Amino acid sequence: MYRHVDEYLNFLAVEKGASLNTLEAYSRDLNRFIDFVERRGIQKIGKITSDDIVALLGYLKSEGLVSNSVNRTLAAIRGFYKHLLSEKIIDENPVSNIDLAKVWMRLPDTLSREEVTMLLEKPDLKTLLGVRDAAMLELMYATGIRVSELVCLTTNNVNWQMGYLIVLGKGSKERIVPIGRTAFECLTTYLEKARPKLLKESSTNIIFLNRSGKGLTRQGFWKIMRKYAMKAGLMKKVHPHTFRHSFATHLLEGGADLRSVQVMLGHSDISTTQIYTHITRERLKEIHKKYHPRG
């Protein structure tokens, strides 16, 4: 049975171009699945029933796994069985009638517009690193890109005439995101005045560089963001994804349609984007409670 898992993972890597993180997660979930059914005395893939899979999900819940993790395991098993069917290794799919466990949606942390402004004003534009940091923070908030996408940006990813980014997201999917006037000006200033001095004698087309002239890491950006959040006196827990959440929330609060926000975030499923509509509803309730005479 482990051979079938290895063949499926190879299929995901070669045919589907799955990322290393996806492959590691699927490998972990599927090998745990095979371990579980083997302990139940099952030695052949065709002998696994829906009852075995339900038992696995129940076991995972009893071990303290949250619904999202249980659902991820079930999604991995679904994909695995779809592949087994297409390869005619099995005749029936025992997963077809099993529903996803209910996920209690946890709203992501966001910053208010005022808090974002406070943070964006903290970089010292008189220094090379301050100019760089201002460009990074403005670009993150203006585009909602992931930190992994930010640190991988090259000069070829920017359309200077039209003012947009060409972002290579999860699953090597390409999307176009407008930059916005303020972020574009900060980025231009950085590239013209700060980046050449940081680059020194190095040679790379990566946009954002560290003191050594090498590409900045995700951990490096996280430390930078945390530093400015502390300088701004923000009491909330601020991390790189906070700007992505704030980007989406502020767009929807301003009247943007959900489909456009989905495209800019690079979500393959609009249901993923819909979580931000919950945030805006919460914001509306806060406003009503604060300003309505009987709120």
Residues belonging to the active site: 146, 170, 241, 244, 267, 276
Please say whether the beta carbons of 238 and 250 come within 8 A.
no
The two three-digit tokens of residue 240, written as one number: 């790189």
Q: What distance in Å separates the CA atoms of residue 94 and residue 102, rounded to the nearest whole number?
A: 20
Q: Which long-range contacts (CB under 8 A, 24 or more apart) does 13-18 make?
A: 16/171, 17/171, 17/172, 18/171
Q: CA 219, 239, 17 angle in degrees (round to 5)? A: 65
Token pair 């996806």: residue: 22
| CB burial string 150-166: b at 16+ within 10 A, e below | bbbbeeebbeeeeebbe
Nearest Cα residue to 146 out of 279, 19, 16, 252: 19
Exposure class string for 175-214: b at 16+ Cβ within 10 A, else e = bebebbeebbebbebbbeebbeebeeeeeeebbbbeeebe
Q: Where are the beta strands (DSSP E) in the chain?
A: 158-159, 164-168, 174-178
Beta bridge partners of 53: none
Give CA–CA dist 190/125, Å, rounded: 10
Distances (CA, A) of 89 to 12, 78, 190: 17, 15, 56
The b/e string for 51-61 (b: 16+ C-beta within 10 A; e otherwise) is eebeebbeebe
